[in-house]
């Protein structure tokens, strides 16, 4: 079984369309034989995704820092709930367990996790596919910022291939398969 690391919102206050998409993703992951590794939370899209997977007999691994567990934020229905001390340890463990990464809509936590993975892709430390789920254009402005970074030569054109953008839940799987996972072109323009 392949394992997908999903970064997504911990907020319970979102429009129902976001919860519906997270639940749909959970169902499709089980159908397509993907297990989940994620931040282990019971709230927001995180909780919806994990519960949707468990309801359909899917496999869920949560990696949660002890301080969040103590605040009863953990999804206790996970097959495995790994307790770590820091947020950094959590990210490392999620990364090492995953065969690919998807960011659903989210806030700073989601963005920070996905940016770290793309940075590691750029440095050739990670060679696994990364996909943004651009639900209703949620990530349009971020992608525009990436295009500005490229135009101003903050990175090379090939670096734009280090992530892919999905426009629907089924498209997430298409993009995961289509992603280039070979080594990244070296980041540095010159080494002098």
Residues interacting with ligand AMP, by CB under 6 A?
7-11, 39-41, 43, 46, 68, 73, 106-110, 113
In the bound state with ligand AMP, the residue whose beta carbon lies nearer, of 141 and 190, is: 141
Residue among 72 and 177 whose Cβ is closer to ligand AMP: 72
Q: For the chain, where are the E strands, in sequence order?
A: 2-7, 34-38, 60-65, 80-84, 100-103, 130-133, 164-166
The least CB distance from residue 138 to ligand AMP, in Å, is 12
Considering the complex, state which of residue 105 and residue 184 has its C-beta at the smaller distance from ligand AMP. 105
Q: Which residues pair with 41 in a beta bridge?
A: 74
Distance between CA 183 and CA 192 in Å, rounded? 22
Q: Cβ of residue 20: shortest distance to ligand AMP, in angstroms?
A: 18
The residue (of 23 and 184) whose beta carbon lies closer to ligand AMP is 23
The half-sphere exposure of 19 on its side-chain side, counting CA atoms within 13 A, is 13
State in angstroms the smallest separation of the CB of 22 from ligand AMP: 12
Q: How far apart are CA 172 and CA 166, in angstroms?
A: 5
Q: Cβ of residue 10: shortest distance to ligand AMP, in angstroms?
A: 4
What CA–CA distance (Å, rounded) separates 43 from 76? 12
């Amino acid at each position: 079984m392949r394992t997908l690391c999903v970064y997504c919102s911990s907020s319970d206050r979102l429009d129902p369309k976001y919860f519906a998409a997270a639940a749909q993703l959970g169902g499709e992951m089980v159908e397509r034989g993907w297990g989940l590794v994620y931040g282990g939370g019971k709230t927001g899209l995180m909780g919806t995704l994990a519960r949707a997977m468990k309801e359909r007999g899917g496999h869920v691994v949560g990696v949660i820092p002890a301080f969040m567990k103590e605040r009863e934020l953990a999804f206790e229905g996970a097959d495995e709930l790994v307790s770590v001390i820091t947020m950094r340890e959590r990210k490392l463990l999620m990364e090492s367990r995953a065969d690919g990464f998807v960011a659903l809509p989210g806030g700073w936590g989601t963005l920070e996790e996905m940016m770290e993975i793309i940075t590691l892709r750029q440095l050739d430390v990670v060679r696994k596919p990364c996909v943004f789920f651009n639900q209703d254009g949620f990530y349009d402005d971020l992608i525009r910022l990436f295009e500005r970074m490229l135009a101003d030569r903050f990175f090379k054109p090939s670096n734009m291939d280090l992530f892919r953008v999905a426009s629907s839940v089924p498209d997430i799987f298409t993009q995961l398969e289509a992603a280039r996972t070979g080594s990244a072109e070296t980041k540095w323009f010159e080494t002098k």
